């Protein structure tokens, strides 16, 4: 009579391959590389002229690499004519080359329109709309806390100025997207190109001429710490 706790030879032969397979599987699993945990991305802001530094109680939280055009129209200026910027058209990309925002001019609904010559819901401001549809409007006017610099120690030759813009309006998107909703300042840095051309707006005969000038820039978005 066989003992219950003593496996026969056939049972042992069946168990042995299974045990070996298990050991091998565990060994290979131990040798596989472990998934890496992504480290938070550190945004490095370049040195800037003192007048476009952002107040110390703000921190950068987003950077977008802008590619597009600065769009000008030949308009009257004093007794002559001059190219005036009527809108930028740019797309901002992340370090992964995926779109972050679009950039253009639009009326800011959070400010009253005091210009009788402008039919709009608010003054025209630089605008950024995130892919989650949150939107900010910003002003570069010194009276609003903005400023600009063409200091040759920082700004490339034949490039548009570096600027600091103060946010004067922000809203979440219709589906509650809020990436830009707390933005306080935006810097446009590392510019290339974008200056108005020297031809095409030299006399009243040129009024209405348009120029679409390619440019690139890095945009740094800040919020209160």
**DSSP codes joined into one string, 47-89:** P--GGGPPPTTEEEEEEEEEEEEEEEEEEEETTEEEEEEEEEE
For the chain, what percent of residues have pLDDT higher than 70?
82
Q: For 209-218, what is the mean pLDDT?
A: 98
Could you tell me which residues come within 8 angstroms of residue 81 by beta carbon, excluding any fewer than 6 positions away?
74, 75, 201, 202, 203, 204, 206, 207
Residue 10, in any domain of the structure: no
Structure token pair of residue 109: 């609904």
* Distance between CA atoms of residues 1 and 9, nearest Å: 15
Mean pLDDT of the chain: 88
Task: Please state, in angstroms and rounded to a whole number, the distance separating the CA atoms of residues 87 and 5.
Answer: 87
Domain for residue 160, yes or no? Answer: yes
34 part of a folded domain: no
Residue 9 lies in a domain: no
The reported pLDDT for the residue numbered 41 is 74
Q: Is residue 181 part of a domain?
A: yes
| Residue 66 belongs to some domain of the structure | yes
DSSP 3-state assignment of 22? Answer: helix
pLDDT digits (tens, 9 = 90+) for 124-160: 999 999 999 999 999 999 999 999 999 999 999 999 9
The answer to whether residue 121 is domain-embedded is yes
pLDDT of 168 higher than 90: yes
CA distance 221 to 186: 5
Looking at the predicted structure, is the pLDDT value of residue 39 above 50?
Answer: no
Query: How does strand 162-171 pair with strand 80-93?
Result: unpaired
Domain that holds residue 94: 54-224
CA-closest candidate to residue 148, choices 39, 37, 52: 52
Number of domains forming the structure of the chain: 1
pLDDT tens figures, 169-200 = 999 999 999 999 999 999 999 999 999 999 99
Is 176 among the domain residues?
yes
100's CB contacts (< 8 A; 6+ apart) are 62, 64, 92, 93, 94, 130, 131
């Amino acid at each position: 009579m066989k003992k219950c706790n003593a496996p026969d030879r056939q049972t042992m032969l069946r168990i042995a391959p299974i045990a070996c397979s298990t050991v091998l599987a565990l060994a290979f699993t131990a040798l596989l590389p472990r998934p890496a945990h992504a480290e938070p991305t550190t945004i490095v802001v370049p040195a800037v002229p003192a007048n476009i530094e952002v107040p110390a109680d703000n921190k950068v939280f987003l950077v977008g690499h802008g590619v597009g055009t600065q769009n000008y129209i030949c308009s009257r200026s004093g007794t002559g004519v001059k190219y005036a910027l009527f809108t930028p058209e740019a797309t901002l990309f992340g370090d992964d080359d995926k779109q972050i925002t679009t950039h253009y001019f639009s009326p800011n609904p959070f400010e009253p329109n005091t210009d009788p010559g402008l039919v709009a819901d608010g003054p025209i401001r630089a605008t950024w709309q995130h892919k989650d549809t949150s939107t900010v409007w910003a002003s570069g006017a010194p009276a609003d806390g903005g400023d600009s610099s063409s200091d040759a120690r920082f700004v490339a030759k034949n490039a548009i100025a570096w600027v600091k813009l103060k946010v004067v309006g922000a809203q979440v998107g219709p589906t509650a997207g809020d990436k830009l909703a707390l933005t306080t300042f935006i810097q446009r840095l590392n510019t290339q190109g974008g200056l108005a051309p020297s031809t095409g707006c030299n006399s009243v005969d040129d009024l209405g001429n348009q120029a679409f000038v390619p440019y690139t820039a890095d945009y740094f978005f800040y919020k209160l710490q």
